[in-house]
Amino acid sequence: MANASSVLKSKSHDEDVNIGLEKSYLAEAAQNLSDILAATYRLTIKSHVYHWNVVGPLFKPLHELTEEHYNALFGAADIIAERIRALGHLAPATLGEAADFAPKANDVGKLTAVDMVNDLVTDHEKAVKVMRETAEKADEAGDVVTADMLTDRLTFHEKALWMLRAIIAE
């Protein structure tokens, strides 16, 4: 019987997993999911900053929508990071320059609600493109779990895009 200390010892590096997926695919998927995780955090932070600072006639609908979005995005970050771990890789310990995720303080005061929405739309569209490519690669590799997770994420982002565009439609 293994002693408790060896059983409970955590690994501090990538793990070798044998889940029926190629090792090279696992590394590529983990990197792509790390990029998606960074995009998710970028949208979480921007949505939260805009939630706090939106003004004007679109205040209430945008304030409420961005709150829904940042809460959903924050929860999604955990799901994405856990998938990276399930693929045998460490979830990113840093997400690049997090300060770059948020709009600059001087810029926020100059943005209209429409500017904020357009900025969020741009970031959602970028995220959707990476997610779609990663989901297609997951399908090709037989990684139905990652593909399914990304389908859920795509559903959220495409609905977010629809709602954001609807708020500023004339």
Distance CA 17, CA 139 (A): 19
- What pTM does this model have? 0.85
pLDDT tens-digit series, residues 40-90: 999 999 999 999 999 999 999 999 999 999 999 999 999 999 999 999 988
Q: Which residues of 127-149 are buried (b: 16+ CB within 10 A; e: fewer)?
A: bbebbbebbebbeebebeebbeb
pLDDT tens-digit series, residues 153-163: 999 999 999 99
Q: Which one is predicted more confidently, 94 or 37? A: 37
Distance CA 14, CA 12 (A): 7
Find out whether 83 and 145 touch, Cβ atoms under 8 Å: yes
The DSSP secondary-structure symbol of 109 reads T
Give the pair of three-digit tokens for residue 105.
């303080």
Q: What is the pLDDT of residue 128?
A: 97
Q: List the chain domain ranges.
A: 21-90+109-168
Is the per-residue pLDDT at 13 higher than 60? no
Distance CA 4, CA 50 (A): 48
Give the pair of three-digit tokens for residue 53.
């600072």
Over range 120-135, report the average pLDDT.
Answer: 96
Domain 21-90+109-168 CATH (choose: 1.20.1260.10, 3.30.70.100, 3.40.630.30, 2.60.40.10): 1.20.1260.10
pLDDT tens-digit series, residues 69-82: 999 999 999 999 99
Lowest pLDDT segment from 98-102, 111-115, 117-121, 130-134: 98-102
Instruction: Look at residues 97, 43, 89, 34 and name the one whose alpha carbon lies nearest to residue 70.
Output: 43
Over range 117-127, report the average pLDDT.
Answer: 96
